[in-house]
Homo-oligomer: A and B are copies of this chain.
Amino acid sequence: ILEGLIYSALCCLKKVLRFNFQSIDVNRELDLMLFSEPGISNYSTLLLSEEHDALYVGAREAIFELSKRNVTLRNNKVQWTVAEDPMTMCTLKGKSKERDCLNYIRVLQLVDAERLYVCGTHAFQPQCDYLNLADFSLAGRPEDGRGKCSFDPTQSFTTVMVDGELYSGTAYNFLGSEPIISRYSPSQSLLRTEYSTSWLNEPSFVYADVIRGGEHEEDGEDDKIYYFFTEVSVEYEFFGKLLIPRVARVCQGDLGGQRTLQKKWTSFLKAKLVCSMPELNFVFNVVHDVFILRASEPKETVIYGVFTSQWGNVGLSAVCAYDMRAVEEVFSKGKYMQKATVEQSHTKWVRFNGITPSPRPGACINNQMRQQNITNSLHLPDKTLQFVRDHPLLEDTVLPIGNRPRLITKDVNYTQLVVERVQALDRNIYDVIFTGTDKGVLHKSVVFEGGVHMVEELQLTKNSEPIKTLLLSSETRSLYAGSDSGVAQSPTAFCSKYLFCDDCIMARDPYCAWDPPTAACVNIMDAPSQLIQSLDGNADKCPAGKSFDYQRVSVKPGSSAELPCLLRSNLAQVLWRSNGSVLTDASRFHLVTENGLLIYSVAPEDQGSYECWSVELAAAVGKNFSRLLVRYILTLDLPPGPAPRSG
């Protein structure tokens, strides 16, 4: 019964795409734009600036400013290489000169309108500098990048700049063995995590960002920085290492403790992110990327994460969505876990059932604390600090919206995601999920009430390289994907590629609608007039198609005839009618191929009319839509016989 369930759960979520744009040859047709420069690789750090209308790109030993309207236009470039000394040091420590001991730009953050803060791995001696945007030059006063940028260009890493302070998740040492979540501020000393497996246990950092003014704004709590990572579980025991996806957070106002937790976070707490199919006991326990979908109302913020399973060869990827309120609830009210010793030599993490010190350990400073004269973390009592040092893990978990993944895809490993919220013509709001894979493919899916519909599949990188970074700009209606070989820019929708009304409707793309006056599929943001859109795929409202003329085809008896007919939708079936009746495969002399009908020894009885129809089911409305694609009249080219007698 269990396995039956699993298969049926998958059957309906499998990859069904109407359109796939797989070939890189169709890039011109699809308006894809690619940027790369000879000799430069690892275009993995991207930063969009609305203000400068620019896409900044951090690559290996180079930083670019591209036009965000068209990434093939390079406005500026600066190189940042490694000097001889650090290079020698790096190679002496056993690293490769050609690969490891170069400068991989991994931090690009806007400091103010004039400057970027940039960091690179710099031959395993991370360095940071300021980039002057006016003349696109580095200040040339490099600072120590330890704790701000990784040593190793291949190690997981995340960073975010908030109000001029740089928050990072990275490793703090050459070996990459000491994980750290830290805050660098020009005016203060580094604030960081304890070096303890209770705090961080072999984490792979995925994402970090600030959430401002959440649920507790009225309490006077300040903003929080959320970190997302996968780490090795301490609370479960498995045959081997069991990975766990986590969300952790720190308070922006944290200054560390006075005695206990000096220069350490007093507000570091973490919880398990759940992405699973509970009825199937199937767990997606590795998080690869997170996207924070911000709403005008902070409480409405939704966190999207893309997950796979630790048992990687299952080839399943999932997208889970989390309500920001659920996350805040866990951190503000969740039970703590504590480490207990068993038989002197083992430990087990169990729920802490004792009395929690007050103020609540790990809580941000709020109005209530201020009334007790605790105006910043330096004033927190030792008891609270000692407790949070020993109990950074919460027992309560963050459950996804609906208690299940939004999207599950088979035979694919998603690496990146972005989400855009679109208001369709039906005035409903739809979340459009763009996911990038380790083979450079982009999937576009729309969340409907009844489930997810996958709209498109698109190859974004050459040689099927992984997508390393994915950004979205609503302003330019573009996606930007960074990979080892370059940067690709793709429109968020390809409405104009749908040439017929029913194609346009059945795509179920909330960006696209049919414009009857111009008989074109258009982006709804271009022409908010009397458009036709029906996101259940019901093409009933489409105007009647133009009537076709017959094309005449004439062949010699016994020779073959090819009648071309190209189907555009992967979900459609082709149907051939001849002289009014449907052609079946049973007929020995007809061969229905991908590109048309082949009649390979035309006999007199084969003469007549041939019509190629596209038939497609709009599953959401349970209706078949047929469209005539092309019509032929086939005649035999008979040798001139005796002239017919005149009447």
Contacts and interface: CB of A to CB of B under 8 A. Distances in A.
A195 interface: no
A283 B239 contact: yes
Contact of A238 (B9, B242, B343, B350): B242
A436 to B, nearest CB: 15
A550 interface: no
A236 to B, nearest CB: 5
A346 interface: yes
Given A236-B238, A238-B236, A241-B281, A560 B3 contact: no
A313 B282 contact: yes
A438 interface: yes
Copies in the complex: 2
A558 interface: yes
Interface in A266-323: 276, 278, 280-283, 285, 309-314, 316
A441 to B, nearest CB: 15
A10 interface: yes
A7 interface: yes
B313 A311 contact: no
A555 to B, nearest CB: 8
Contact of A316 (B7, B236, B282, B313): B313
A463 B349 CA distance: 50
A348 interface: yes
Contacts of A310: 281
Contact of A342 (B235, B314, B350): B350
A316 B312 CA distance: 12
A556 B600 CA distance: 13
A237 interface: yes
A173 interface: no
B3 A313 contact: yes
A6 interface: yes
Among A2, A239, A278, A560, chain B packs the most CB atoms within 10 A around the CB of A239
A311 B312 contact: no
A517 interface: no
A154 to B, nearest CB: 10
Interface residues of A, number: 46
A340 interface: yes
A313 B340 CA distance: 36
B239 A276 contact: yes
Interface string A594-626: 000010110000000000000000000000000
Contacts of A3: 312-313, 413, 438
A171 to B, nearest CB: 18
Among A235, A313, A340, chain B packs the most CB atoms within 10 A around the CB of A313
A239 B236 contact: yes
A580 interface: no
A563 to B, nearest CB: 13
A559 interface: yes
A600 B560 contact: yes
Contacts of A556: 558
Contact of A311 (B236, B282, B558, B600): B282
Contacts of A186: none
Interface in A390-420: 413
A642 interface: no
Contacts of A240: 278, 281, 283
Contacts of A350: 342-343, 345-346
Interface in A447-502: none
A413 B598 CA distance: 41
A2 B559 CA distance: 56
Nearest to A283: B239
A350 B557 CA distance: 85
A559 B601 contact: yes
A313 B315 CA distance: 10
Interface of A: 2-3, 6-7, 9-10, 235-242, 276, 278, 280-283, 285, 309-314, 316, 340, 342-343, 345-346, 348, 350, 353, 413, 438, 556-560, 598, 600-601
28 contacts: A3-B312, A3-B413, A3-B438, A6-B313, A7-B313, A239-B276, A240-B283, A241-B281, A281-B310, A281-B311, A282-B311, A283-B311, A311-B314, A314-B314, A340-B343, A343-B353, A346-B348, A346-B350, A556-B558, A557-B558, A557-B559, A558-B558, A558-B559, A559-B559, A559-B560, A560-B601, A598-B600, A600-B600
Given A313-B316, A340-B342, A340-B343, 5 more contacts: A2-B312, A3-B313, A239-B285, A241-B281, A556-B558
